[in-house]
Amino acid sequence: MKHLPTLALLLLASCGSGDGDLSASPAPSTSPTPTPSPTPSPTASPTPTSMVALTGNIAPAHDPAILKDGNTYYLFTTGNNGDAEGLLALRTSTDLKDWTLRGGSYTALPAWTATAVPGSTGMWAPDISKVGNQYRLYYSISTFGKNQSAIGLATATVIDPTKPAANWVDQGPVIQSTTSDNYNAIDPMAFTDADGRAWMTFGSFWSGIKLIQLDPATGLRLANDPAPRALASRPSPGAIEAPYIVRHGGYYYLFASFDSCCQGANSTYNTVVGRSATVDGPYVDRDGKAMLQGGGTQVLSNGQGTGSRFVGRGHVAILQQSDGDYIVYHAYDTTKNGFPTLQIQKLTWSTDGWPSV
């Protein structure tokens, strides 16, 4: 979600990426308190050489999801009613560097969302993939700080950058959560395992990151799938959300965002990772600590206190391609009142199989 007028709601809901949830476990008593904004250092820290120098329309951009198809990169972000960028804004690039805003992928929220999540005004935390000749665009429907939420799916056989909303067909909800659940159905990410099975990981706050199995033919939840499986959590009030799973070598890697997003220059969002030999876990960090016990090896720091221009780095997507891997995320620009901005960095892997930037 994003923009109240513009920046305010942008900072509030943006996390929809699974982030319309600034609440803690089952019935949080308080929202996490963001770390106060530090006094900027006289000299900003140098830009890492792994950063991709971006141009064009890269802000406001919250909760980025990316897909390369042919010679084009497609990037989708969170959106709220009234946003100039539109709902699930589409940006395209042919070189991963220069980005053009194409507009919203929806002109209005799907009709089913009014009953499923009363009061919802945005489509948050998208995920984009392609299965065969079908594009699958997942999205989150929620309201800030509540877990009466839903994950929806839109499908298309064509993405038309000149008319972003022209070809998407809404398929309705994939999974929903209510106030009686101990999880939050937002921040979806769909993937296929080594055996060809389709999965979705999701979750934000409450009891943490979950996993369900999908029907590979439809992209919807597999019939008779059991209760969501638990992959990662943190003791209350520790925040965890925005999962992303990739395969590398013989492992599955679970990336997740810790701490507070949506607070502009005060955001403490940071990104961690753990890995598992099996898709449903257990995931452990580099020190062997289970992610179900709060473990996670840091990949992106929050940038606070370093003099960095961009802080609160999280809600990542991982782009795997022949010239190497990239980590795609949003961060808040301290020189522009905490405006959420697209960031892309090279992701490297150690000899023992751990990612870093």
d(CA 308, CA 41): 8
> Is the Cβ–Cβ distance between 50 and 346 less than 8 Å?
yes
The burial of 352, by beta-carbon neighbours within 10 Å (0-12 exposed, 13-18 middle, 19 or more buried), is given as exposed
3-state secondary structure 306-351: CCCCEEEEEEEEEEEECCEEEEEEEEEEHHHCCEEEEEEEEEEECC
- Run of H or E including 114: helix 113-116
Tokens encoding 321: 């391609």
Sheet arrangement for strand 209-214: 189-192, 198-202, 209-214, 229-232
- In terms of Cα–Cα distance, which of 106, 132, 319 is closest to 219? 132
- Amino acid identity for residue 332 in this structure: Y
Report helix, strand and coil shares of the chain as percent, to nearest 5: 5, 40, 50
- In terms of Cα–Cα distance, which of 260, 262, 211, 259 is closest to 232? 211
- Sign of the alpha-carbon torsion through 357, 124, 275, 213: negative
- In terms of Cα–Cα distance, which of 314, 319, 302 is closest to 341? 314
d(CA 5, CA 351): 48
Tokens encoding 26: 């089952």
- Run of H or E including 180: none
- Run of H or E including 7: helix 7-13
The helix/strand/coil state of 258 is strand
CB atoms within 10 A of CB 56: 13
d(CA 220, CA 343): 30
Catalytic residues: 63, 241
